[in-house]
């Protein structure tokens, strides 16, 4: 019998498969389709201090082997998440959940995290300093090591929960930024967020997205994400959540070999709402195929081969 349990920032989870923020709502929507307690956990929709309508439409565009989105952090705001969304979730999910937090200032991040810190069901705070689809915040904090560290310190000062900083791939040295977050007290790192991209409508000669650019996700970005997880694993000692184009159990194993302790699944949830359930169900067979008895044994395994 294989062991799929892993420990993420001192919290044990049944398996490393985690639906990524923005692709799984607040969980109860998917609970109408299957028992979401099969998940390791999930990261709920990005939450901000105040309600946000998001970007103008169109804000989704299909691409070969992926998609572009420029939703713009649409959410009801932290107070409504606490008062309305979390009570609904509690009825269908009995495990700790990951709260994804975004902001437009250091104070925004601290305020929202301090509010969520009081919620018993929240196990981790995933602090998104890497959203490419909003102006005046988001990714701007994740492109500079000192800004990333500043947000990390501010959040750590208001919460006792594990803080996981979500990083952008749209930088020259992601390992440098990860190290700055670790030194500022981060308990973990999530990577990668979406790659910046765009498409143009040949008939209208205009960008397909009203926001012009958006975040590119899907299977096409998997090799990019894998290489960045590999690099960051060599730069930090804290756990990593790997994501970006994950679509099957083999991808989960590959991410863990690169250095991930847990793995998020994003765009595939929008293609197939049962994607995470299928990955979890097929994970034991994939482990047996590659002679893996315990997932904890393979974390960072690709770094241990004899380099010649």
Q: Kindly list the catalytic residues.
A: 131
With a CB cutoff of 8 Å and minimum separation 6, the contacts of 23 are 265, 266, 267, 269, 270
Q: Are strands 163-166 and 11-13 parallel, antiparallel or unpaired?
A: unpaired
In which element (H, E) is residue 124 found?
strand 122-128
In which element (H, E) is residue 68 found?
strand 66-69
Q: Are strands 195-197 and 214-217 parallel, antiparallel or unpaired?
A: antiparallel
Residue 179 vs residues 78, 117, 144, 149: alpha-carbon distances, Å: 29, 24, 12, 9
Burial 155-167 (b: 16+ CB within 10 A, else e): bbebbebbbbbbb
Q: Are strands 60-63 and 206-207 parallel, antiparallel or unpaired?
A: unpaired
Three-state DSSP state, 225? helix
User: How far apart are alpha carbons 88 and 96 in whole angstroms?
Assistant: 14
User: How far apart are alpha carbons 109 and 126 in whole angstroms?
Assistant: 11
Residue that is written with structure tokens 């810190």 in the block: 117
> With the CA atoms of 162, 256, 2 and 283 taken in that order, what torsion angle do they form, in degrees rounded to the nearest 10?
100
C-alpha 90 chain-centroid distance: 21
User: How far apart are alpha carbons 193 and 213 in whole angstroms?
Assistant: 15
């Amino acid at each position: 019998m294989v062991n799929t349990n892993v420990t993420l920032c001192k919290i044990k989870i049944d398996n490393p498969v985690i639906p990524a923020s923005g692709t799984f709502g607040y969980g109860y929507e998917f609970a109408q389709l299957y028992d979401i307690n099969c998940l390791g956990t999930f990261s709920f929709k990005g939450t901000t201090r105040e309600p946000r309508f998001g970007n103008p439409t169109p804000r989704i565009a299909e691409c070969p082997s992926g998609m572009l989105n420029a939703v713009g952090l649409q959410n009801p705001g932290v107070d409504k998440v606490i008062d309305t969304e979390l009570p609904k979730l509690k009825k269908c999910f009995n495990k700790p959940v990951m709260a994804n937090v975004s902001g437009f200032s250091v104070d925004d991040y601290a305020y929202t995290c301090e509010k969520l810190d009081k919620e018993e069901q929240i196990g981790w705070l995933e602090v998104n300093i890497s959203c490419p689809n909003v102006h005046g915040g988001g990714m701007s904090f994740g492109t500079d090591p000192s800004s990333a560290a500043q947000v990390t310190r501010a959040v750590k000062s208001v919460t006792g929960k594990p803080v996981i900083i979500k990083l952008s791939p749209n930088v020259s040295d992601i390992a440098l930024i990860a190290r700055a977050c670790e030194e500022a007290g981060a308990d973990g790192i999530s990577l990668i967020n979406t790659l910046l991209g765009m498409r143009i409508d040949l008939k209208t000669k205009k960008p397909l997205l009203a926001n012009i650019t958006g975040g590119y996700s899907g299977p096409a970005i998997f090799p990019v994400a894998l290489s960045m997880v590999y690099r960051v694993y060599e730069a930090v000692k804290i756990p990593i959540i790997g994501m970006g184009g994950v679509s099957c159990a083999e991808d989960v194993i590959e991410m863990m070999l690169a250095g991930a302790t847990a793995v998020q699944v994003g765009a595939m949830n929008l293609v197939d709402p049962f994607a995470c359930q299928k990955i979890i169900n097929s994970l034991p067979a994939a482990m047996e195929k590659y002679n893996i008895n315990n997932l904890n044994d393979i974390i960072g395994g690709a770094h241990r081969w004899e380099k010649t």
